[in-house]
């Protein structure tokens, strides 16, 4: 699939689905001594259900800042951020944490797996301390590992797994709470080309088979080739 680069915004039909992400005039400013650094400048972005959107741009372009704001890991200096129809501006930290928990899955460049836990325990971790039936949670975690082709690695610790297997475990973990949205920060950065292609196809398939919306920040053209839309960034601005 060739990435589409014609438009930054997708406007839903009047009777169509609402955006999963709706960002309007979002700025992020940092004070660095006497200087004000503009990490994001007047960002406008809509992402619709089941889209696979790729954020591309050089280091310092604002990709990670935008991803962190979408995920509620950072707050904008100004502007409107709506996630799954919820305006996040008035949310308390605990309310935002609940929104993240229920709506968003995260995939990190460095996998962020707990080394002394098995693959299935790492997948269970986001729900480990909640009142879920233990057997049902274990069955769900195993099912997700099977989905990403790791049925043979269920009880292996990360140190006994390849980088690609660790990232696939991270993908399974991101899905344990059945999120609407998955955010991936440089998901192929530590992988060889062939393994990276496998991981990217899995992200694409989340959209097409499970209806999950995926937004990934990346330098990797392989990710862009599989995405349904590319959003290019430069100097804190969305430029297409």
pLDDT digits (tens, 9 = 90+) for 165-177: 999 999 999 999 9
Alpha carbon distance 98, 228 (integer Å): 29
Domains and CATH numbers, the chain: 49-75+90-239 (3.40.50.300)
pLDDT digits (tens, 9 = 90+) for 113-125: 999 999 999 999 9
Phi-psi region of 205 (alpha: psi -120 to 50; beta: other; left: phi over 0): alpha
Look over the chain and give the mean of its residue pLDDT values, rounded to a whole number.
89
DSSP H stretches of helix in 76-162: 93-103, 119-124, 134-147
- What letter would DSSP give residue 181? E
pLDDT at 166: 95
Phi-psi region of 112 (alpha: psi -120 to 50; beta: other; left: phi over 0): left
The two three-digit tokens of residue 81, written as one number:
């951020």
Q: Say if CB 158 and CB 189 are below 8 A apart.
A: no
pLDDT digits (tens, 9 = 90+) for 78-103: 999 999 999 999 899 999 999 999 99
């Amino acid at each position: 699939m060739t990435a589409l680069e014609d438009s930054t915004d997708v406007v839903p039909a009047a009777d169509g689905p609402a955006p999963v992400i709706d960002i309007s005039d979002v700025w992020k400013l940092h004070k660095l001594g006497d200087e004000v650094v503009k990490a994001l400048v007047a960002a406008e972005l809509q992402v619709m259900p089941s889209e696979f959107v790729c954020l591309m741009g050089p280091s310092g372009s604002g990709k990670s800042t935008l991803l962190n704001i979408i995920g509620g890991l950072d707050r904008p200096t100004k502007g409107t951020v709506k996630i799954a129809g919820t305006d996040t501006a008035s949310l308390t930290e605990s309310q935002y944490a609940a929104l993240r928990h229920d709506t968003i899955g995260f995939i990190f460049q460095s996998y962020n797996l707990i080394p002394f836990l098995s693959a299935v325990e790492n997948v269970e971790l986001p729900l480990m301390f909640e009142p879920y039936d233990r057997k049902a949670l274990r069955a769900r975690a195993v099912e997700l590992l099977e989905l990403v082709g790791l049925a043979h690695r269920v009880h292996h610790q990360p140190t006994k797994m390849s980088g690609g297997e660790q990232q696939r475990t991270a993908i399974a973990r991101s899905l344990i709470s059945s999120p609407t949205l998955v955010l991936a920060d440089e998901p192929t950065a530590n992988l060889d080309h062939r393994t990276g292609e496998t991981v990217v196809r899995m992200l694409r398939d989340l959209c097409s088979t499970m209806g999950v919306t995926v937004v990934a920040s990346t330098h990797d053209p392989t990710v862009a080739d599989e995405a349904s839309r590319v959003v290019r960034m430069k100097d804190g601005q969305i430029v297409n």
